[in-house]
Amino acid sequence: MSKNPILEEILNEVDKHPEIMSRRDAMKYLTMSPMAASILAGATVGATTTAASDVKGKIVIVGGGLAGMSTAARLTNTLSNPDITVIEPDPLSVSYQPGQTLVGAGIWDKSDIQYNRDDFVPNGVKLIKGSVTAFDPDNNTVTVDGKDVIKYDQMIVATGLMLNFGAIKGLEGEITSAGENSVVKNCGVTKNGLHSIYFQDGAEATWKGIEELVAKAKAHKGPNKLQAVFTHPNTPIKCGGAPKKIMYLTHARLEEAGVRDKVELTFYPNGSAMFGVPEYHEAILQQFKDRGFKWNYAHNLIEVDPVKKVAVFDKHWKEKGAFDEDLEEYVMVTKHERVEVPYDFMHVTPPMKAPDVVGNSAVGSDKGWVPVKKETLQHVKYKNVWCLGDVAAVPMGKTGGSVRKQYKVVVDNMIATMEGKSSLPSEYAGYTVCPFITSIGTVMLAEFNWTKKPTPSFPLDPTQERWIWWLLKVYALKPMTIHGMLSGRA
């Protein structure tokens, strides 16, 4: 039997640290967990999937990132006579975005997460290197670069989202993770202590910023601590754990340098909890306490002065207003207070939104995201339109772990529709996995779904930080994505 190279790499790392874990225990964790076992199985390309349907139709996929290319690959594996077109302008669209956190902490290089779009176009799939500038779902067409009209029988929207730095006063620009970003960098992000791991160049600069913070802490002699600030905005975001992950990793680098006591680390989330799943919220809260972190709920970043290094937050809360005689209850009124916070280092998680071309079109919605039936991922109005990934209006679904479940549902249901079946065979239950990095060496593997309850794939306390999940994160998840999902098999 041939060896799994990713599993062997993990076990070799385990062998270097017998004081932490034995190879036998590592094998138990990795093979008895359905999630871990499936990741390892998907980390190398498996056998070719046998074509299952002879149905024909022109399929257009708008977006050639992880969601779009994985779906194109799975459709190619499943259809006998596929007619698939992917429309994507960005040559680095399939970059491994979850790795940006590791780049920001100096564990990986930016080159470790960059992949060329053209290397992952499935055989037989047509690639249009352009941008959709108009959607016309009533006539089953999209327009590319303002001139070329493309017809379709079925359309999949997988555009991803925009990082809306411009929604914060003092900053500018709407960018993607790997696209042109000079407008954001020119306004001050990536220098003078202001950073963001949410785009590739920003992740690389974040590591330099952490190194600068460490050096500044080593030279610091004053009685007051340096201030490191981390934010979480008032919009849905991709990888909801990342704003805290980079905080944990900054803490780890400061501890490693022996200067943690000279820096105050404070988290400013717009919401009122650390995580949407209560059990994980409680675990993270205890981790914050154990590490001496501070936090201020209900603070939304609204302004930054990159020169003076001052962040401005909208602190908000509810108070009783007038008494409603008819409802026999008090009207709750939202109050606001402007809070200015000087910083030495700040990690900004930008507000996020759907691309305007999607949000302002007939396939979008008032909130911008594409409205779909959350179980089937079929558009609520247009039955031949499907959506997955970051741009889909589904709860808690903006992660690669979500896409790994979603793209199979889209393929199954779209083919069933093309075959004229009256019911859709697959449902997405909202499963998401967040490898929540808590240090350089530990991960809390947060698995959950729409029930907002932990759904661990192994009979262990899922709120505990474990080294084995760090090894899974660092060694297995990227090859699972690049060789598994993008081949349509993981």
Which of 56, 48, 44 is closest to 5 using CA atoms?
A: 44
67 conformational bin, left if phi > 0, alpha if psi -120 to 50, beta if neither:
alpha
Q: Is 187 a catalytic residue?
A: no
32 conformational bin, left if phi > 0, alpha if psi -120 to 50, beta if neither:
alpha
Distance of CA 464 to the CA centre of its chain: 22
Question: Up-side HSE of residue 122: CA atoms within 13 Å toward CB?
Answer: 30
Q: What are the structure tokens assigned to 435, written together?
A: 């490898």
Report yes or no: 481 and 43 within 8 Å, Cβ to Cβ. Answer: no
Query: Under DSSP, is residue 355 helix (H, G, I), strand (E, B) or coil?
Result: coil
Which of 353, 378, 375 is closest to 363 using CA atoms?
A: 378
Query: Dihedral of CA 62/65/67/71: which sign?
Result: positive
Query: Dihedral of CA 170/175/177/179: which sign?
Result: negative
Q: Over the Cα atoms of the chain, what is R_g?
A: 23
Residue 72 contacts by C-beta under 8 Å, 6 or more apart in sequence? Answer: 61, 64, 84, 86, 121, 122, 125, 488
Q: Are strands 294-295 and 263-269 parallel, antiparallel or unpaired?
A: parallel
Angle at 46 between CA 43 and CA 51, to 5 degrees: 130
Q: What are the structure tokens assigned to 290, written together?
A: 């154990």
Contacts 24+ apart (CB under 8 A), 95-99: 95/177, 95/178, 95/200, 96/478, 96/481, 96/482, 97/66, 97/177, 97/238, 97/239, 97/400, 98/239, 98/399, 98/400, 98/435, 98/477, 98/478, 98/481, 99/478
Which of 167, 181, 132, 170 is closest to 152 using CA atoms?
A: 132
Question: Up-side HSE of residue 409: CA atoms within 13 Å toward CB?
Answer: 23
Q: Considering 239, 363, 385, 440, which one is annotated as catalytic?
A: 239
Question: Up-side HSE of residue 400: CA atoms within 13 Å toward CB?
Answer: 25
Q: Which amino acid is at 155?
A: M
Q: Considering 171, 434, 440, 471, which one is annotated as catalytic?
A: 434
Q: At what angle do helices 23-32 and 34-42 cross, to 10 degrees?
A: 90
Q: Is 239 a catalytic residue?
A: yes
Q: Specify the DSSP element, H or E, that contains 244.
A: helix 242-256
Which residues does the annotation mark as catalytic? 239, 434
